[in-house]
Amino acid sequence: MNKHSFVCINCPLSCSLELSEENGEVVEVTGNECKIGARYAEEEFKDPRRMVTTTVRAKGGALPLLPVVSSAPIPKRLVREAVRVLGDVVLEAPVDEGQVVYRDILDTGVDVISSRKLEAE
Amino acid sequence: MDAARRPDAVVIGAGPAGLGAALSAREAGLADVMLIERDFELGGILPQCIHDGFGSIVFDEVLTGPQYAQRYIDRVERSDIDIKLNTMVLDLAPDHRIVAVNSREGIIEIEPRSVILAMGCRERTRHQIMIPGYRPAGVICAGAAQRDINIVGVMPGRRVVILGSGDIGLIMARRFTLEGAEVEGVYEIMDQPGGLTRNVVQCLHDYDIPMHLSHTATFIHGRKRVEAVSVAEVDDDLKPIRETERKIPCDVLVLSVGLIPENELSKMAGVALDPVTGGPVVDERMHTSVEGIFACGNVVGVFDLVDYVTRSSEVAGRGAAEYVLEGARREPPIRVVPGRNVFFVMPQLVRRLDRDMDIYFRVERRERDVRAKVLVDGAEAYDHKARMVRPPEMLHATISPSDPAGGVGVGAVEVKVVPGDE
Amino acid sequence: MKPGCKRPLPPSAGVVVVGAGVIGCSIAREVTRYTSGVVILDKESDVACGTSKANNAEVHSGIGEDAGTLKQKLNVRGNYLYGEFVADLGIEFKRQGLLIVVTQRTLPREEAGDMSERDRDDLLRRKIPEGIIAYGENAGIHGLRVLTREEVFRTEPNVTREAVAGVFDPTYGLVSPYKLTIALAEHAVINGAQVFTNTEVTGFRVEDSRVRAVITDRGEIETPLIVNAAGVFADEVADMAGAGGFEIHARKGATLLFDREVTSEYVHSSVAEFRLPGQRKSQSKGGGAMPTAEGNLQLGPTAVEVDDKYDTSISAEEIEEIFERFYYLLPGFPKEALISAFSGLRAPTREEDFVIGASNEVEGFVNVAGIQSPGLASAPAIAEMVMGILHDLGIPRKERTDFDPRRPAPPRFYELDNRERDRLIAEDPRWGNIICRCETVSEMEVIKAIHSIVPATNMDAVKRRTRTGMGRCQGGFCGDRVASILARELGMPITGITKDGEGSPVYLGRTKGFAGGEE
């Protein structure tokens, strides 16, 4: 049986969770004070996901960079690579809020969108 | 210099507080609202806060800083609020007279009927926490580093030591990492993190960045550019233990050691400040000690969540509108008393409880299984159970006049945190 | 090429001054009254980068110096000349006075031996103040006044209640040491001098015991006259020519600096404690609580001997010492108004007096060394004395008829009234763009500093000229804005901007989005 540690982020208690698994099957979660903690540990073990936020280059804009955000969380292990890929994106201002900046990033099915309006200079 | 303008309200600062205040003052019936911002665009600090985590209370969804700002910017731009960008307020007098300046109009004199202070806060610097050493390039506050990376597009450093574990410091640990820098560690003088657990997990644990609790920086090395930072463990009095001192090579020291409400203009106007919050003493309408001058957001005291900044700004905007349209409240103010395990409370005063009132407060010390209570004239107006309360996390209570304990005339208000079984 | 060293060095010069501190620039400016062929060299990126930038701004009267020293003589004379010295330089000099307080600590009870309480009291209240006055009169310092305890509090209501009496020294003044240095350098340039920063002296060509040329890391300048005003490095520079024979050691002084908004509510004149000679901690004067020329309270300085002539660090112990020694002078001053701490190096010789004179070994080589406090106060008299030496060495005694007595100072937005501000903004809208909110500095002031006679090429140089980043937020707001203006005006990428010259880049490259280049 393998054990994995997590810190629960759902309330200020910040429970130290321990998840036991066998061949990928969750056996038990300990250290949690409520059900939310147990569910959180399972998610973090099975399919941890994170939102991606970074900037991309925007030419001819009032600012040189445009903040972007993924339209949904993507697998945690792909975040660094996603940010690296977005580092090569160059847009032309103006850009509208919500405009898709990168479609289906790293085959996750998740788009990356502009998180603000950026006027041309 | 043209003849002075006489708007109903001038809002100073167009961050989340100023945007919200201007909108609510306009919506509450003021015809002529002016919004003054020193930057070239609206939004204050939010455009550089590109991470998500904003808006869960106001909008019930999770937004990035720019997205949150955009919602208000769109509304302000659609309104007839008079927006003055690139404009710096130079002087504010107790009689509301404002002197401001910009490139287009030169010196601008304004004599508004009411003023809403929404200047936000600034970061504490290395000198306010007295870090010894040299004064090289490469010592920077976390918010300034955030602006460098997210707005200007420059790297303040490549090998990073972060002092202080406030949320901005944690967010920047991740941001530096994603931009290809190496974060050597986060050093926190207290024995618990200063920021939210969510940020400790998602900004540090996710990227294997170590957090060193009960540590501080003891010396900045490097005559021209930061070369290393000495750190040491601290004892119970938070004094460095010499034997534990070690030198961490790095090229930048990022400070996330607290925020200070920016009240230089408030002081010019003679507004009374609360030494605990660092901001103006305000009543239930966010009215300060100077008649017709209101304040909201981080200028009043540092909030953790932008959502509450917005809420305080809506109270201030509405308050200013009521003041202009109906006059000042004449009831003598009574103090909102910080009771057991409460050291910080905003607003500090109540004159009249005629609608829902938000009270923000912080605890003195960490405590488990408690109830946070607000007593109005001895009766419970708010009672909430919490598994854990911590000083870095601001608490919030809403008291209503419709509550049997509430009412228009109020004799005493106390906020306290008591063991859960009481 | 490094900014600030774009111009080639001239092949020859009438006089070369090594070191662009307040002393070097005072002398250079003086020389330009007689001849324009002056070159000032400094290895740092700007003038006033050594002792002159981390100095407490005091123009002493000379009361603190030992009788009979060259230091005291030049200090008293320098103070007397100051008004004339700074006239037409466009900088502020205020004789706001020094309050020397005699306190219970001046002679603690336990150290008074078998002296009766009455005698001790008489000593503190009468004999010491009267003694200070007599000492001053003897040295030619006039106008000193004894203050009773009540008069002390009337002069400065927030001063320590431990004060029992005092002496007011009305000739004491304050001047910004780096603004003065910049103004002197510019005034010299207006009159034909040339300033080369980022230029390090590596040796001299001496033939037949006569100076022939100075050798730098950027080439050679032929010259018959060298003035060595190299501060803490004056001994090393003198040794390069074989004109040495003295040793400079560095003595560090650390100072804490407070918000000026708070300062004006608490104190107006400078306040120093009187220490009996036996109780002085070191050779350097006592220090105290004094506003800067621009109104920020300073506490300090300390006095610590250091081996490293680049050691401008400040230690935890020094910070503690400053509070311990000086804070009591103004109890109640809000400690949280602290905005900065700095330390600078004094450059004393082992003998602790100024070393000024033509070398006996090398003709044409003049040492101006060992200049420590009261060097700033003595500068006018030092320049006068060195000019006398240079006349003896061949500079004509006849003043130029085309000497321009004025150095126009750029306007400071903060100091103007609204009508003048409006007029400037109408002239150029960049006057209306406020870059630094704490100190109310406009974009145009920054631009003017960058293109000034002695140009500012980095963040600290702009800061010294305009006060950007000097306020309570310490550059948190204006930092990248000033860097962007520097980059634009100097025609270089923002990543090339430094804090104070080579080796101090503000940024270490661009973020990922710029991987493909700047534009």
Per cent of chain A over pLDDT 70 is 100
Q: What is the DSSP string of B142-183?
A: HHHHHHIIIII-B-S-SEEEEE--SHHHHHHHHHHHHTT-EE
Q: C494–B152: do the CB atoms touch at under 8 Å? A: yes
- Residue A70's pLDDT is 97
| Cβ contacts of A89 on chain C, cutoff 8 Å | 513
Residues 164-193 of B with CB under 8 A from A: 178
At residue C1, does pLDDT exceed 50? Answer: no
Residue B354 has pLDDT above 90, yes or no: no
Question: What pLDDT is stored for residue C6 in this prediction?
Answer: 66
Q: Residue C444 in 3-state DSSP?
A: helix
3-class DSSP assignment, residue C495: helix
Distances (CA, A) of C476 to B88, B158, B173, C382, C504: 17, 19, 19, 40, 18
pLDDT of residue C312: 87
Q: Where are the alpha helices (DSSP H) in A22-116?
A: 35-46, 79-86
Give the length of chain C: 519
Task: With cut-offs at 50, 70 and 90, classify the pLDDT of residue C277.
Answer: low
Task: Please give the single-letter amino acid code of residue A10.
Answer: N
Residues 356 through 385 of chain B touching chain C, CB cutoff 8 Å: none
| Residues C209, C241: Cα–Cα separation, whole Å | 9
Of the residues A55, A68, A83, A118, the best mutation for testing chain B's interface (the one with the most B CB atoms within 10 Å of its CB) is A55
**Which residues on C lie below 8 Å from A83 (Cβ)?**
512
Average pLDDT in the A16-45 region? 91
Q: Which residues of C touch A57 (CB under 8 A)?
A: 513-514, 516
Instruction: Give the range among B325-334, B388-397, C26-35, C286-295 with minimum mean pLDDT.
Output: C286-295
Averaged pLDDT for residues B63-70: 97
3-state secondary structure of C227: strand
CB of A77 less than 8 A from some CB of B: no
Q: Could you write out the DSSP letters of every residue in A5-26? A: EEE--SSTT--EEEEEEETTEE
Region B281-293: mean pLDDT is 97
Percent of chain A whose pLDDT exceeds 90: 83
- Nearest by Cα to C27 from C348, C435, C393: C393
Q: What is the pLDDT of residue C511?
A: 94
Take residue B67 and report the two structure tokens written for it: 């997205």
Q: Partners for B (CB, 8 Å, 3+ pairs)? A: A, C
pLDDT over 90 (residue C115): no
What's the confidence (pLDDT) of residue C295?
85
Using CA atoms, how far apart are residues A92 and A77, in angstroms rounded to an integer?
30
- Model confidence at B40, pLDDT cuts 50, 70, 90, reads very high
Whether C268 is a known active-site residue: answer no
Average pLDDT over residues C31-58: 93
Beta strands per DSSP E along B245-326? 246-249, 252-255, 259-261, 293-295
pLDDT band, very low/low/confident/very high, at C490 (cuts 50, 70, 90):
very high
What is the model's pLDDT at position C519?
47
Digit-coded pLDDT (tens) for B122-142: 999 888 788 999 999 999 999
Chain B residue with minimal CA distance to A12? B388
**Average pLDDT over all residues of chain A:** 93
pLDDT at C88: 87
Strand partners, B385: B371
Cα angle C305, C310, C311; round to 5: 50
C516 Cβ under 8 Å from any chain A Cβ: yes
Distance CA B400, CA C454 (A): 65
How far does the CA of residue B253 sit from the closest CA of chain C (Å)?
12
DSSP, res C66: P
Taking a C-beta distance cutoff of 8 angstroms, is the pair B305, B12 a contact?
no
Of the candidates C374, C338, C384, C323, the residue with the CA atom closest to the CA atom of residue C98: C374
Contact A57 C516 (CB under 8 A): yes
Contact, A82 vs A74, CB < 8 A? yes
In the sheet that A65-70 helps form, which strands lie side by side, from edge to edge?
A90-92, A53-59, A65-70, A112-114, A100-102
CA distance A108 to chain C (A): 22
- Share of residues in chain B with pLDDT > 70 (%): 97
Q: What is the pLDDT of residue A11?
A: 78
Residues B308-324 as b/e (b if ≥16 CB within 10 A, e otherwise) read: bbbbbbbbbbbbbbbbb
Instruction: Please give the structure tokens belonging to residue B313.
Output: 């700004």
Show Cβ contacts of residue A17 under 8 Å, excluding neighbours closer than 6 positions. A5, A6, A7, A8, A29, A30, A31, A32, A37, A38, A40, A41
* Percent of chain C clearing pLDDT 90 (strictly above): 70
Please give the mean pLDDT across all residues of chain C.
91
Q: Shortest Cα distance from C494 to chain A (angstroms)? A: 13
Least CB-CB distance to B206: which of A33, A76, A116? A76
Confidence of residue C285 (pLDDT cuts 50, 70, 90): low
More confident residue, C338 or B122: B122
Provide mean pLDDT across the span B242-247. 96
Q: Give per-residue pLDDT as tens, C352-401.
A: 899 999 999 999 999 999 999 899 999 999 999 999 999 999 999 999 99
**How many Cα atoms within 13 Å fall on the side-chain side of residue B220?**
30
Q: How far apart are CA C73 and CA C78, in angstroms?
A: 8
Please provide the average confidence, as pLDDT, over all residues in chain B: 94
Please, which pLDDT band fits residue C475 given cuts at 50, 70 and 90?
A: confident
Question: For the segment C430-472, what is each residue's pLDDT rounded down to a tens digit?
Answer: 999 999 988 899 999 999 999 999 999 999 999 999 999 888 8
Q: What is the pLDDT of residues B157-180, one digit of tens each?
A: 999 999 999 999 999 999 999 999
CA C474 remoteness from chain centre: 20
> Which of chain A's residues have a Cβ under 8 Å away from the Cβ of C519?
59
Q: What is the pLDDT of residue C4?
A: 47
3-state secondary structure of C130: helix
Q: What is the pLDDT of residues C303-337, one digit of tens each?
A: 888 888 888 888 888 888 899 888 989 988 888 88
Q: What is the mean pLDDT of residues B394-418?
A: 79
Judged by average pLDDT, the poorest of A94-98, B43-47, B351-355 is: B351-355
Alpha helix segments (H runs only) across C334-478:
375-392, 418-427, 443-450, 459-466
pLDDT attached to residue B336: 94
Nearest CA in chain A to B51: A53
pLDDT tens across B25-36, in order? 999 999 999 999
User: For residue C517, what pLDDT is reported?
Assistant: 57
* The three-state (H, E, C) secondary structure of B206-223, written as one string: HHCCCEEECEEEEEEECC
**Cβ B356 vs Cβ B382: under 8 Å:** no
pLDDT digits (tens, 9 = 90+) for C146-169: 999 999 999 999 999 999 999 999
Alpha-carbon gap: B151 to the closest alpha carbon of chain A (Å): 6
pLDDT for the residue numbered C518: 53
Interatomic CA distance for residues C250 and C348, integer angstroms: 7
Yes or no: say if A19 and A4 are a contact pair by the CB < 8 Å rule: yes
> Can you give the pTM of this predicted structure?
0.93
> Residue C454: which residues within 8 A CB-CB, separation 6 or more?
C46, C47, C182, C185, C186, C189, C195
pLDDT at C2 over 80: no
Average pLDDT of span C271-288: 66
Among residues C281, C373, C441, the alpha carbon closest in space to that of C54 is found at C373
Alpha-carbon gap, residue C242 to C223, rounded angstroms: 16
Contacts of B206 in chain A (CB under 8 A): 50, 76, 79
Q: Per-residue pLDDT for B403 more than 80? A: no
- Helix runs in A1-121, H state only: 35-46, 79-86
